[in-house]
């Protein structure tokens, strides 16, 4: 079983070691946060507490399992909003203790990093582009708990750039999916926006200059008619994709210097749900002669199945965690250790 509660989704899933997702039940708090234009940590923690039991029981019911049928219980132990992480962790530890099951403390980023192995036959080592609301980074995935960090954002995460710009456009939270939808009707060449760090010989990201330019453009050219809004969304999405493709090229170069046998590019995190971005990245991997693996949309956004799967990856290597494991608000991928 896997439990996810690090942001605004309470999710629980039962996944088998031969890659069957028996259940993946999610309660999303979207409506509770929408009025504030972003996730409010206090509200999130309370909502997790209210929903966790219902969600876990629903996952067990759907999987037609009893707790004693489980092999292990995994839960996100960080990084994330600590109130929610504590709720999921304590619930998982409770199940583990009551039913004498092994407990696994899962790093949320690692779960995104390994999801593609649940849905596709992906071999190590691969290059990972993790793009979500809180994270934006390139990592070489050598094995579970073995990661080499190559580059990350020096300011905002890419999902934040979508969400903050969407807020200025009056779109609801999260704005990423809305911008993708509106962009379909727009002309991506209409507005020219900056691409910070373009062609720089490293694979860090920066989105603050783009965000500022977008704000100024919206202020100067607004209020937008429908067609203006669609054109803006298309231009903004294209600029973000140009940035991601340019940075991915650099990342391939850096990754191959360290690990010549990179088998694939894998994407993870909510922004990887964007179909336009997927197609653009596919162009890059074709040139690099490796496949692109993108999990289905429902497994790109936060979900319990990815936590359960990360649990499987470690559990079959004979690993588990002590019930003393403390939840961590910050927890870089390189700091995952098992004895
Ligand atoms: O991984 P995730 O569900 O939560 C975090 O761990 O952050 O990612 C959420 C982020 C939000 O910023 C949301 O706007 C973005 O992913 N997102 C998208 C799309 N779907 C979700 N961004 C662009 N296009 C999408 N289709
Ligand atoms: Zn996430």
pLDDT digits (tens, 9 = 90+) for 283-330: 999 999 999 999 999 999 999 999 999 999 999 999 999 999 999 999
Residue with tokens 């203790």: 97
Q: Which ligand is nearest to the CA of 134?
A: 1
Beta-carbon count within 10 A of 100 CB: 8
For position 173, what pLDDT does the model report? Answer: 85
The answer to whether residue 140 scores a pLDDT higher than 80 is: yes
- Within 8 A by CB and 6+ apart from 36, the residues are 43, 173
- Enumerate the β-bridge partners of residue 138: 129, 151
Looking at the CA of residue 300, tell me the nearest atom of ligand 1. 1
Looking at the CA of residue 273, tell me the nearest atom of ligand 1. 26
Q: 196 is written with which tokens?
A: 């910070």
Helix (H, G, I), strand (E, B) or coil at 79: coil
Instruction: Report d(CA 136, CA 151) in Å as an integer.
Output: 9
Going from the Cα of 226 to the center of ligand 1, the distance in angstroms, rounded, reads 24
Going from the Cα of 223 to the center of ligand 1, the distance in angstroms, rounded, reads 26
Instruction: Report d(CA 5, CA 48) in Å as an integer.
Output: 7
To test ligand 1's pocket by mutation, which of 184, 271, 281, 329 has the most ligand atoms within 8 angstroms of CB? 271
Instruction: Indicate whether residue 301 lines ligand 1 (CB < 6 A).
Output: yes
For position 80, what pLDDT does the model report? Answer: 95
Confidence of residue 218 (pLDDT cuts 50, 70, 90): very high
Instruction: Indicate whether residue 173 lines ligand 1 (CB < 6 A).
Output: no
Instruction: Report d(CA 264, CA 126) in Å as an integer.
Output: 5
Going from the Cα of 303 to the center of ligand 2, the distance in angstroms, rounded, reads 8
Confidence of residue 23 (pLDDT cuts 50, 70, 90): very high
Q: Whose CA is nearest to atom 21 of ligand 1?
A: 270
The answer to whether residue 134 scores a pLDDT higher than 90 is: no
Distance between start and end Cα atoms, the chain = 22
Q: Which ligand is nearest to the CA of 76?
A: 2
Whether the ω angle into residue 174 lies within 30 degrees of 0, i.e. cis, is yes
Instruction: Indicate whether residue 80 lines ligand 1 (CB < 6 A).
Output: no
The answer to whether residue 63 scores a pLDDT higher than 80 is: yes
Ranges of H-type helices in the chain: 30-34, 41-63, 82-99, 108-119, 158-168, 176-183, 208-221, 226-258, 275-288, 297-300, 304-315
- Span 110-132, mean pLDDT? 96
To test ligand 1's pocket by mutation, which of 174, 275, 300 has the most ligand atoms within 8 angstroms of CB? 174
Beta-carbon count within 10 A of 307 CB: 35
- Within 8 A by CB and 6+ apart from 300, the residues are 112, 115, 267, 268, 269, 270, 272, 273, 294
Instruction: Indicate whether residue 151 lines ligand 1 (CB < 6 A).
Output: no
- Span 246-265, mean pLDDT? 97
Instruction: Indicate whether residue 204 lines ligand 1 (CB < 6 A).
Output: no
Going from the Cα of 64 to the center of ligand 1, the distance in angstroms, rounded, reads 31
Q: Whose CA is nearest to atom 16 of ligand 1?
A: 270
The answer to whether residue 34 scores a pLDDT higher than 90 is: no
Instruction: Report d(CA 76, CA 67) in Å as an integer.
Output: 19
Beta-carbon count within 10 A of 260 CB: 8
Q: What is the CA radius of gyration of the chain?
A: 20
Q: Is 174 left (phi over 0), alpha (psi -120 to 50) or beta?
A: beta
Ranges of H-type helices in 170-207: 176-183
Instruction: Report d(CA 77, CA 327) in Å as an integer.
Output: 5
Calculate helix-pair angle for 176-183, 226-258, nearest 10 degrees. 110
Going from the Cα of 130 to the center of ligand 1, the distance in angstroms, rounded, reads 11
Looking at the CA of residue 268, tell me the nearest atom of ligand 1. 1
Of 76 and 32, the structure prediction assigns the larger pLDDT to 76
Q: 43 is written with which tokens?
A: 């509200």
Confidence of residue 33 (pLDDT cuts 50, 70, 90): confident
Q: What angle do CA 52, 56, 58 make, to 5 degrees?
A: 120
Going from the Cα of 274 to the center of ligand 1, the distance in angstroms, rounded, reads 9
- Span 202-206, mean pLDDT? 96
The answer to whether residue 70 scores a pLDDT higher than 80 is: yes
Q: What is the mean pLDDT of the chain?
A: 96
Instruction: Report d(CA 227, CA 235) in Å as an integer.
Output: 12
8 A C-beta contact, residue 292 and residue 265: yes
Looking at the CA of residue 162, tell me the nearest atom of ligand 1. 14
User: CB-side exposure of 118: number of CA atoms within 13 Å?
Assistant: 30
Instruction: Indicate whether residue 175 lines ligand 1 (CB < 6 A).
Output: yes
**H/E segment holding residue 76:** strand 73-78
- Span 83-112, mean pLDDT? 97
Confidence of residue 155 (pLDDT cuts 50, 70, 90): very high
């Amino acid at each position: 079983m896997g439990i996810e509660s690090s942001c605004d989704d309470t999710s629980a899933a039962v996944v088998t070691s031969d890659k069957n997702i028996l259940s993946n039940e999610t309660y999303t708090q979207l409506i509770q946060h929408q009025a504030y234009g972003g996730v409010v940590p206090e509200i999130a923690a309370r909502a997790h507490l209210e929903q966790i039991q219902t969600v876990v029981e629903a996952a067990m019911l759907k999987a037609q399992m009893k707790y004693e049928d489980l092999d292990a219980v995994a839960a996100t132990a960080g990084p994330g909003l600590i109130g929610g992480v504590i709720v999921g962790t304590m619930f998982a530890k409770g199940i583990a203790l009551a039913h004498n099951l092994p407990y696994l403390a899962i790093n949320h980023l690692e779960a995104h990093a390994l999801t593609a192995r649940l849905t596709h036959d992906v071999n190590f080592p691969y290059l990972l582009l993790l793009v979500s609301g809180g994270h934006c980074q390139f990592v070489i995935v050598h094995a579970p708990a073995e990661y080499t960090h190559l580059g990350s954002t020096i300011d905002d995460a890419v999902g934040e750039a979508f969400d903050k710009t969407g807020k200025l456009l009056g779109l609801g939270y999260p704005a990423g999916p809305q911008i993708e939808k509106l962009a379909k009707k727009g002309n991506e060449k209409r507005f020219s926006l900056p691409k910070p760090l373009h062609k720089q010989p490293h694979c860090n990201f920066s989105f603050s200059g783009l965000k500022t330019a977008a704000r100024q453009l919206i202020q100067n050219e607004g209020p937008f008619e429908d067609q203006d809004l669609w054109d803006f969304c298309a231009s903004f999405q294209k600029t973000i994709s140009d940035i991601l493709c340019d940075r991915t090229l650099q990342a391939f170069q850096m990754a191959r210097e360290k690990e010549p046998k990179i088998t694939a590019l894998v994407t993870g995190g909510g922004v990887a749900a964007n179909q336009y971005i997927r197609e653009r990245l596919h162009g890059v991997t074709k040139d690099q002669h490796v496949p692109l693996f993108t999990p289905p949309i429902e497994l790109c956004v936060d979900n319990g199945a990815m936590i359960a799967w990360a649990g499987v990856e470690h559990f079959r290597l004979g690993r588990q965690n002590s019930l003393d494991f403390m939840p961590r608000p910050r927890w870089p991928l390189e700091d995952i250790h098992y004895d």
